[in-house]
Homo-oligomer: A and B are copies of this chain.
Amino acid sequence: MAQGFTGKILRVNLTDGTTSVEELDPVLYRRYLGGGALATYFLLKEMPPGVDPLGPDNVLVFMCSILTGTPIPGFSRYTVAAKSPLTEGFAESEAGGFWGPELKWAGFDGIIIKGKSPKPVYLWIKDGECEIRDASHIWGKTTGEAEQIIRNELGDKRIRIAQTGPGGENLVRYACILNNVKHANGRTGLGAVMGSKNLRAVAVRGTQKLPLHDEEGVRNVTRWFAQNWRDNPRQVIMHNLGTSNGVLNMNAGGILPTKNFRTGTFEHADKISGQAMVDTILIEREGCYACPVRCKRVVDVKGEYDVDPYYGGPEYETIGSLGCLCCIGDLPAIAKGSELCNKYGIDTISTGVAIAFAMECYEEGLLTKEDTGGIDLRFGNADAMLAMIEQIAFRKGLGDILAEGVARAAEKIGKGAEKFAMHVKKQELPMHEPRGKKTLILAYAVSPTGADHMENPHDGDFASRSPAMERVAPLGFIEPVEAFDLSHRKVRQFVYLQKIWSLYNSLGVCTFVAAPVYTLTFEKLIEALEAATGWKTSLWELMKVAERADTMARCFNVREGFTRDDDTLPDRIFGPLEGGALEGVGVDRDVFQEMLSCYYGMVGWDPETGVPTKARLAELELDWIELPGVEVKA
């Protein structure tokens, strides 16, 4: 079988400690590709609605894409999916790094994990075999410590480990999974799902050759990327300045999330920019497997804060959430916060938003020093921020409440705290401002995982005949859409881009190397897939896989009781921005509802309820999905 995929799924039952290997029908790969779409397929097929996300009935799926493990840059990514302890709906998160390719070389496309181990364990997967091993001795250890212990005891330094940390063990609802202690499946609380199953880590080592249809063809795309990525100025900026390259532009545009989204302008933006990091604490640029772009940062800090380079360095989302959102302009402190989150296995976005929320509650008098254990939890207090990370990861004091996420924390705090809780579907907002990047109005509201940072709308690029627009012309984007146009044109722009993002999650490709903005054009993506598999495919077929993924995720949430009312934005976003270039700009509630109906209609869901129609389910060959008790219109 020379097709890019191994054809094998590892199944693990942690309750009874058994494992098995399942061979998948090749048709499934073509219909669901891998990654997000294929993971969602298994969730819907094998988990009934209504299970406790932190109970043994949750199903935890790790899924690579067909192209994960090929040497083509940007395809290192894999999906983890389950029911989310944070949203109690659909959970999906991707990570790059090295673990995904290693799993493919070990002979598996994915792992489906069920049940709950009676004691802490980790999985040891090597070349087609899987062992469930005791993890009592690493329970409570930092991610770095655990990684070393596992590598040492298995006697192989090249083992790749995806794990959660103390945050996951302590069921922080936004605990994450990390591989190489710095590539995170960050969002939706998948680390807590691992923790709830007493599963600390999945260690993998593979030495098998990945079967490819056309090795020379795969090499050609690989070579093409190496030869061309430096011709893309945005790709080069990504290499030079990393993911926080846009901080100064965003600040100038009034859309740098600051002070818990009260404003979009931060007085110390220049201190936390990508350039500032290069000029101060950066010691190395790192990449994921096979990727020459090396957008990841490694920082070394000595002095007031000691930061261990082993944990990499802060991404933009971390700089935003632990930095400007908390009004902290101290890059070493942010880097320390990033290190702590990675050590403990908690999502930096939700952590930062939870702390900013607490800071606002504190400044507004809803929380006092009594609640914080004496910490002066003001905006701008870096030490307070770091202390709160510790409290959250170990569920100490106020941290125990914040570990529930801002939505639940606001409920517990009461006194109207909900108005400071910046979340959609109980997941905290990432560091992009919907009042300025208008496509995010829909992206945040309808994302099946709640507000998600992986849907970067590039509104500016679509507002003029930019190189990015040229590169999405194959989608039919033939005329610019003005950045603040909220008509059906903006909705369509989002609808098509959303498919692209879903496609990337299923292809396992990084948005930072691919169209619309970066090196890999749609043509090259298709060339890569065709070389690996031998299929003749098209952007039409791939967009339909993306529609399938989006519609399945929607069905997952519909089954769990989500309705149109859950597709909304925090109150604050409907209100005006304070200060900055977009002072006074908010989101009109009526316009929002019109956009929402238009979106539902365009994707083939009922324009009133957002429930996928029978016809759309049938078109996508998803007629097997059952939505009991829900009215599914023709």
Contact = CB atoms under 8 A, between A and B. Distances in A.
Nearest to A617: B488
A521 B473 CA distance: 21
Contacts of A537: 473-474
A541 interface: yes
A27 B478 contact: yes
A618 B634 contact: no
A625 B407 CA distance: 44
A321 to B, nearest CB: 35
A613 to B, nearest CB: 6
Contact of A540 (B31, B535, B539): B539
B473 A535 contact: yes
A229 interface: no
Contacts of A458: none
A582 to B, nearest CB: 27
Interface residues of A, number: 46
Contacts of A475: 538, 540-541
B634 A614 contact: no
A92 to B, nearest CB: 22
A491 B473 CA distance: 29
A240 interface: no
Interface string A605-624: 00110000111101101010
A597 interface: yes
A621 B490 CA distance: 12
Interface in A551-607: 597-598, 600-602, 604, 607
A544 interface: yes
B613 A598 contact: no
Contact residues of A: prevailing secondary structure = helix
Contacts of A616: 601-602
A523 B523 CA distance: 11
B476 A544 contact: yes
Contacts of A522: 538
A495 interface: yes
Contacts of A544: 476
Given A476-B544, A535-B473, A540-B540, A615 B633 contact: no
A408 interface: no
Contacts of A615: 488, 597-598, 600-602, 607
Most chain B CB within a 10 A radius of its CB, from A476, A521, A621: A476
Contacts of A31: 478
Contacts of A598: 614-615, 618, 634
A607 B633 contact: yes
Nearest to A608: B634
Given A478-B31, A634-B601, A488 B538 contact: no
B27 A479 contact: yes
A540 B474 contact: yes
A536 interface: yes
Contacts of A601: 604, 613-616, 618, 634
A151 interface: no
A376 interface: no
Contacts of A470: 536
A616 B471 CA distance: 24
Contacts of A474: 536-538, 540-541
B488 A619 contact: yes
B602 A619 contact: yes
A492 interface: yes
A128 B41 CA distance: 58
A453 interface: no
Given A31-B478, A478-B30, A634-B607, A473 B619 contact: no
Interface string A467-490: 000110111101100000000110
A543 interface: yes
A621 B481 CA distance: 12
Most chain B CB within a 10 A radius of its CB, from A522, A543, A601, A621: A601
A270 B150 CA distance: 78
Nearest to A499: B540
Nearest to A548: B476
Interface string A501-514: 00000000000000
Nearest to A623: B488
Interface string A409-437: 00000000000000000000000000000
A523 B535 CA distance: 13
Contact of A538 (B491, B540, B618): B540
Given A27-B479, A475-B540, A619-B488, A604 B607 contact: no
Contacts of A621: 489, 492
B538 A539 contact: yes
Nearest to A30: B478
Contacts of A619: 488, 492, 495, 602
A539 B542 CA distance: 10
A189 B602 CA distance: 36
A538 B472 CA distance: 10
Nearest to A600: B615
A614 B488 CA distance: 10
Interface in A371-400: none
A538 B538 contact: yes
Interface of A: 27, 30-31, 470-471, 473-476, 478-479, 488-489, 491-492, 495, 521-523, 535-541, 543-544, 597-598, 600-602, 604, 607-608, 613-616, 618-619, 621, 623, 633-634
6 contacts: A473-B541, A474-B538, A475-B540, A538-B539, A540-B543, A607-B613
Given A601-B613, A602-B618, 12 more contacts: A31-B478, A470-B536, A474-B540, A475-B540, A476-B541, A488-B618, A489-B621, A521-B536, A538-B540, A539-B540, A539-B541, A598-B615
